[in-house]
């Protein structure tokens, strides 16, 4: 008996060889364009960074300098310049996001929740989540999304953090920290076995 994807709740995409090639080319083009814009480098250098496996500006900013310097034709001075530009770009973006966060009325206190950054606070603000209590009242599904099966089809619903690589476990930890800071639970509650149902419901302990 074949095991159907609907039965196990997985949404499986099967790509042809051509579709996979097109997907990879699209990702390569997007990464190259990002590096050109963020690092103020020409297309050849941007494509070289992409072809070496670098996928984000964050990776270039925080990776060991030697990883960049090891690229053929690079030296430590070039690598340092690339890393400095990456860091400066991220700082500019963080500042812009924080200004938008303030304009949305998202309180500073949410920075105290480990794992949250300015871009994520902007996303929260756009969804009307602006205080520690608002965030403490979230369910994991609210943040990372969920799937539903209906009539044999799997439908995906996005959460607030759809554009961020946040796992369900990480989202749950953030919510627990927010509930701790909001006074809904205590350190003793955190030390006890997690009540997953309570997290999903978003109700104070």
d(CA 75, CA 5): 49
d(CA 129, CA 138): 9
The per-residue pLDDT for range 152-194, each reduced to its tens digit, is 788 999 999 999 999 999 999 999 999 999 999 998 887 776 5
What structural domains and CATH numbers belong to the chain? 15-103 (1.10.150.20), 105-205 (no CATH)
Query: 43 or 11, which is more confident?
Result: 43
CA angle 140, 165, 167 (to 5 degrees): 35
Q: Which of 21-30, 91-100, 163-172, 187-196 is the least confident region?
A: 187-196
Phi, psi (deg, nearest 5) at residue 157: -115, 125
What's the CA dihedral at 115, 117, 121, 122 to 10 degrees? Answer: -140
Residues belonging to the chain: 205
3-state secondary structure of 147: strand
The per-residue pLDDT for range 34-51, each reduced to its tens digit, is 999 999 999 999 999 999
Sign of the CA dihedral running 25, 30, 33, 34: negative
**Cβ atoms 92, 114 nearer than 8 A:** no
Q: What integer is the mean pLDDT of 137-166?
A: 92
């Amino acid at each position: 008996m074949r095991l159907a994807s609907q039965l196990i709740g997985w949404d499986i995409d099967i790509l042809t060889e051509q579709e996979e090639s097109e997907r990879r080319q699209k990702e390569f083009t997007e990464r190259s364009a990002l590096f050109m814009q963020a690092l103020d480098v020409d297309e050849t250098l941007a494509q070289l960074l992409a072809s070496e496996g670098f996928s984000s500006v964050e990776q270039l900013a925080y990776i060991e300098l030697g990883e960049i310097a090891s690229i053929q034709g690079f030296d430590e001075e070039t690598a340092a310049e690339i890393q400095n530009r990456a860091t400066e770009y991220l700082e500019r973006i963080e500042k812009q996001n924080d200004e938008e966060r303030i304009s949305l009325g998202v309180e500073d206190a949410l920075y105290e929740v480990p794992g949250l950054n300015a871009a994520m606070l902007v996303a929260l603000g756009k969804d009307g989540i602006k205080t520690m209590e608002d965030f403490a009242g979230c369910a994991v599904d609210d943040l990372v999304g969920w799937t539903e099966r209906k009539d044999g089809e799997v439908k995906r619903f996005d959460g607030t953090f759809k554009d961020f690589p946040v796992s369900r476990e990480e989202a749950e930890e953030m919510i627990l920290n927010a509930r701790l800071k909001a006074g809904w639970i205590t350190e003793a509650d955190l030390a006890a076995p997690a009540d997953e149902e309570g997290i999903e419901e978003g109700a104070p302990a």
